[in-house]
Structure formats: C-alpha cells, structure tokens
Structure 1
C-alpha cells in the first residue's frame, strides 16, 4: 500500500524531528554565522544596534567593540558547531563542549532581561483585562508590538533561540562522544540512579514543590495589595501608588492570577491528570497527554522566568537600586524567580524521564 502525499509529508516531518541530533549542529552554525555578520554590520556603523540599555547585562555597550565581539564569537561559533557535528568525533575535547554550554547559558538566561517575559504575559493580560477596564481603550495591537516587542526585545528572543540551538548541539555532540543512541540519548552504560522513572518521580516532586511555592508566595503579596492589605509594604505606599496609577493593584492581581494558573499547571507534571486529560475537559477527556504538550511550554516558561529573575537579581544587588526594607514585598519575591525557573525546568526534565517510552531506534527503555 502506498502512502498518500499528506501521510508521506507527515512521516518526513516526524523523521526530521526525531533525527534532530544529525542536523542541529549545522543549523546552529548557520545561526551563529548569520548573527556574526549582523555583529560585523554594527561594528562597521550599521543601524539597529540593540544593546547598551540601562539595567541590562550589556548596559553601556557600544556598537563598535560589541559588534566586533559578536562577529568574532559568531563566526568562530559557526566553525565550532560544524566541527562538533562530525559523525564520529576523533577524541573528547573539553573546549568545544564548554564553548557550546557557555553560549547556551549566556544567550538563554544571562543576556536576556525581563522584557521577553513581560511581552508574553501582556498579551493574555490585554485579552482578559480589556473587558474588565484594566486596559486603556485606545491601546491597539500595534501599540502592543511597539511597546512590548521593539527590536531590542525581538533581538533577545533571537538570542534565546540561538542559545537553545547551542544547547542542542552540545547534547548531540555528547551523545556521539558516548556512542549513545542519537534519538533518545540512552546507552547500555547509562547510569539509572537519577534518570530512571522511579528516581525521576522522587526528585521531580521536589522540583514541582519549588516551582509552585515561589509563584504562590509572589501571588499572595499582589492579591493582598489588591485587597488593600499592606503585606510587606506601608499602607501609605499602597495609597500613593493607587492614586498615581488607578487600578495598578488589580492589574498586579491579574498578573498574580496568571502565575497561580502556571503553578496549577505545574502540578500536572506529577499528577495523573498531567498524563491523561481529566473528565472536565470536553473533547479531550480520557485521552493521553502527549509529553511534549507539557514539556515544551514548561521548558520555555522556565527559561523566561529564569532570565527575568536574574535580571531582577542584577538590578537589586548589582545595579545600585535603592532598597527600602519596610517595602520588602516589592522586590523580594522576584529574587526567588531564578529558583522558580530552575525548579520548573527540573520538573519538566523529570516528567520527560518518567514519560519516555522504549526507544524504537535502540530498543532501550
């Protein structure tokens, strides 16, 4: 029986996705080289230099030196990414792997600040807040993009995508070095003390506990202010800000509600309803939840929360921000955001290890 065109295309897409360790290094090389050329344009006086803003990791950066650095790292990275994609690496080299993981960490969580996360949460806030009167009537979609997704923020999203590519390149390279399965990463020598489903279920519960506790603590302060309860702030401070920006605390409560919703969804990473859709979901009830349906959004949100939290840490500890301890709730909950992101990322990893099936390529499971 011959497959239809649509079935053949679906099979091709599936095969391409599962064979990502074979091609991701070359995609990373293309991304790295392209960004290197972009950096070269800045160094030579080109427009649209996105760095140098205050309260960012690259505050005060100038186009010429930063552009040359981006060009050098980008073009060098393209060469290294191709070298790491050799089918059978001749020997184990620490340098390329360290380079890849350093770029992955820097591009995904160190350079980006809180604005990508703000852009993400402002969209549902506009949808929910508009009928509640919390969004000005004259605020349009174009205003949203100009306010929350200008080029410097889009550039941060591009950097985060590049960081994910470098992380994938490092993982694929490690699998080739260890002669592990290219598809699932498992091997006969794999240590199962922490990667087995039983072990992942144990430490995954602790990760979920952390990823739930932080947003619950954050939401408690914001809802307290909306209810005119001066939790962690002076009453006069609440009244003053409310007078300057009417409805600010209810907007904060809406943001806190989104955080609580995320905390509830995080519980699904260790609950039965995170594997099988519950009865109260019409059209999906009783169906098996595809692992990537939970893993992909949880991983993306984990990165955004971590980068947001690290930007707050830099601002309040290294940025010279004035800290008034009688208003601790204004900033202390955000300082725990990196812990929230790390917990959510670990919980997503545990969910993956617990849900993965026997690999059709290597037969391990």
Structure 2
C-alpha cells in the first residue's frame, strides 16, 4: 500500500496524470492485447514451420504472384515469420509492463515501427482493400485464408504501434489518453491542426481522383494509359465496368474527406433527417478514415514493390494500369494526416487528465 501511494505521488510530482476514477483504463491494457495477438500469431507460424497445414504466405499464397515471397516455400519462410512475430511479442510485453525500461524508449518504438513496416511492405497487400470494397458490394467470394491472415497481421502490429505510443507518453509524463502535457499544445493545437490539416485533406482528395479518371476513361471506351489490345481484352470480360464502380467508390470516399475540414463534417447537415443539427461523433469520422488510410498505403506500397520486383516489365505501354496505384501512399499519408488534424481540432477536454 505504501509503495502504491509513493508511486502515485511520484507521478503527480512528474506532472503525469493518473487514470480518472471510475473509468476503464484502456491504455493500460493495449500493450497486453498487442502481446497476446503477436504471441498467438508467432506460435501459429511456429506450428506451420514444423509442418502444420494451412500456411498462408509465399509460394503457399492463394495468389503467389502478389506476394513478396512468391517463390519461397513454407519450410524457409515460416521460421523467419515466426521469429519476427515472437520477437515483436517480446517488445510488446516490454511496452506493456509498468515502469520504465532500461532499453531507451526510442529503441522500443523503433522496433514497433519496424515490425509494422515489415508487415505492411511484405505480408499485406492490396487484397485487403479490394476485399473491403467487395464486402460493401455484397461480394464475399474473394475473401480467402491469405487475406484473413493479412488482416490479422496488420491488426496485431497496429496494436503494437498503439502500445508504443502509449508507452512513450507514459514515460515522458504526458497523458496516456490524449498525449497532452503542461508545456503547451504546439502543432497539435486546434489552430495549428486546422492549417496543416487543410492542406493534407485537399491532397487526399486529388490523388484518388487521378486514379479514378483512368478507370472512368476505360469504361467510357477511352484506353487511357493502356494498349488497345489490353482494353479490348478487359472489355470482353466487363472488367472496366467493375473497375469504374470501384473507382467511383474511391472518388466518393475522397469527397467525404472534405468533411474533415468542412462544417458538415462536424455538424450533420440539414438534409440528414433525424440527425440534422447534431454534432458528428469524432469516432464516426476518425475510425473509417484511419482504416482507409492504412489500407490504401499498404496497396500502394505493394504496387511499388511489384515494380521493383520486375512484375510490370512487360507492361511498359500499359502505365495506366499500374502507375496511378503507385501514388496511393501519398493518398494514405495525406488522409492519415488530415484525420489526425480533425481529431486534434475536435477532441475537446480530455476526460482522463482534464487538459483541453
């Protein structure tokens, strides 16, 4: 009991707010959740490394041509992935345990970012985004075992990055819930966020429209950026109609991005019967925008990776089929920045530390 009182007194002296009474302290459990997910997935890959059935990556991928390890079999690949996830689980546990580590915080955070980058650039690809679009179109047949594993891997390392951010806040004396300190807001203030968030939002609108313009052109009979032969081939299978539909969904989503810097993104407009005049919940904008920013970045990185792997060497005359996707990381980063700025502008007073 004495140690608990001293610990709280020490935190108060350091300016680090404790959890609000009566509220579930989700930040204290984030690291343990990341550890559990990473550990379980690491053990799954250990099972596959010892000959278990169901390995989803590399040469065993449902579509190995999209994989970074297209010609690498389970025997060689599974042990490396198992080691990566089990090592990440160890880092996540260090982030979750109370107190400071002898290992510098920047090293633990760097390891978390490296793990996420490794998953985003190698294991995950555009099929997660494509399957999400197909779900909205009520087409569930494209979802397969590899995509499910990609999604689990992305969520696991995402939890790890979140726990690293919480750890950095905790060890620096900031509020673990909002990240605020007593030294001032700076670039995270609502005024500053409104400035740089507006530029990010406009960028996130333009990039998907550039991509959509090629797909609309193909559907209208204009082989923009592709050969006549490829266009005729896609026309026979009605690929350009489906591509235009997906592009339209992306374009509509890009226009919704404007809500991050417009009043109708904060107050429901008058034409929304039953909701007009009410404040838009922050999470209603932040959660889907964050999800899309991650998925389009992963998809764009995959196209860049395939380019360097030489997958498009025979398609130099068909730049319209690959180049627009290569700028998707710009879209993803810009959307993430615009979403963060929206959150900074609207988060209000923190219920944990009462800073605002």
Q: TM-score range by the shorter chain?
A: 0.7 to 0.9
- 1:130 corresponds to: none
Give the CA deviation at 1:222.
1.2
Instruction: Find out whether 1:50 has 2:33 as its counterpart.
Output: no
Q: What SS does the corresponding residue of 1:194 show, helix, strand or coil?
A: helix
1:32/1:290 Cα in 2 relative to 1: closer, same or farther (>3 Å)? Answer: same
- 2:212 corresponds to: 219
Q: Tell me, in whole angstroms, the C-alpha distance in 2 between the residues paired with 1:193 and 1:314.
A: 37
1:66/1:326 Cα in 2 relative to 1: closer, same or farther (>3 Å)? Answer: closer
Give the CA deviation at 1:211.
0.8
Range moving further from structure 2, 54-63 or 331-340: 54-63
Give the CA deviation at 1:355.
0.8
Q: Tell me, in whole angstroms, the C-alpha distance in 2 between the residues paired with 1:75 and 1:236.
A: 48
- 1:200 corresponds to: 193
1:90/1:116 Cα in 2 relative to 1: closer, same or farther (>3 Å)? Answer: closer
Range moving further from structure 2, 97-106 or 316-325: 316-325
Give the CA deviation at 1:109.
5.3
Q: Which residue of the other structure, out of 346, 353, 360, is the alignment partner of 2:351?
A: 360
- 1:262 corresponds to: 253
Q: Tell me, in whole angstroms, the C-alpha distance in 2 between the residues paired with 1:324 and 1:74.
A: 36
Instruction: Find out whether 1:27 has 2:29 as its counterpart.
Output: no
- 1:66 corresponds to: 77
Q: Which residue of the other structure, out of 33, 36, 55, is the alignment partner of 2:42?
A: 36
1:230/1:32 Cα in 2 relative to 1: closer, same or farther (>3 Å)? Answer: closer
Q: Tell me, in whole angstroms, the C-alpha distance in 2 between the residues paired with 1:342 and 1:153.
A: 23
1:65/1:237 Cα in 2 relative to 1: closer, same or farther (>3 Å)? Answer: closer
Contact 2:67 2:122 in 1 (8 A): no
Give the CA deviation at 1:112.
0.5
Give the CA deviation at 1:215.
0.9
- 1:188 corresponds to: 182
Q: Which residue of the other structure, out of 156, 173, 176, is the alignment partner of 2:170?
A: 176
1:262/1:320 Cα in 2 relative to 1: closer, same or farther (>3 Å)? Answer: same
- TM-score by structure 1 length? 0.84
- 1:79 corresponds to: 90
Give the CA deviation at 1:185.
1.2
Contact 2:35 2:160 in 1 (8 A): no
Q: Deviations over 1:115-166 (max 9, x none)?
A: 111111112334xxxxxxxxxxxxxx6xx34xx2111110000001101111
User: Aligned runs of 1:322-333 on 2, under 5 Å?
Assistant: 322-333=313-324
User: How many residues are treated as equivalent by the alignment?
Assistant: 329
1:238/1:63 Cα in 2 relative to 1: closer, same or farther (>3 Å)? Answer: closer
Q: Which residue of the other structure, out of 160, 172, 181, is the alignment partner of 2:154?
A: 160
Q: Tell me, in whole angstroms, the C-alpha distance in 1 between the residues paired with 2:101 and 2:297.
A: 36
Q: Tell me, in whole angstroms, the C-alpha distance in 1 between the residues paired with 2:137 and 2:310.
A: 29
Cα RMSD of the aligned pairs, angstroms, is 2.0
Contact 2:42 2:86 in 1 (8 A): yes
User: Which structure 2 residue ranges, 5 or more long, are not aligned?
Assistant: 1-21, 59-63
Q: What SS does the corresponding residue of 1:54 show, helix, strand or coil?
A: helix
- TM-score by structure 2 length? 0.86
1:115/1:223 Cα in 2 relative to 1: closer, same or farther (>3 Å)? Answer: same
Range moving further from structure 2, 44-53 or 56-65: 56-65
- 2:10 corresponds to: none
Range moving further from structure 2, 82-91 or 295-304: 82-91
Q: Tell me, in whole angstroms, the C-alpha distance in 1 between the residues paired with 2:206 and 2:124.
A: 24
Q: Tell me, in whole angstroms, the C-alpha distance in 1 between the residues paired with 2:277 and 2:346.
A: 17
Q: Deviations over 1:152-209 (max 9, x none)?
A: 110000001101111111111101110111221111135x332111111111111111
Q: Tell me, in whole angstroms, the C-alpha distance in 2 between the residues paired with 1:323 and 1:334.
A: 17
Contact 1:108 1:164 in 2 (8 A): no
Q: Tell me, in whole angstroms, the C-alpha distance in 1 between the residues paired with 2:48 and 2:286.
A: 37
Q: What SS does the corresponding residue of 1:288 show, helix, strand or coil?
A: coil
- 1:290 corresponds to: 281
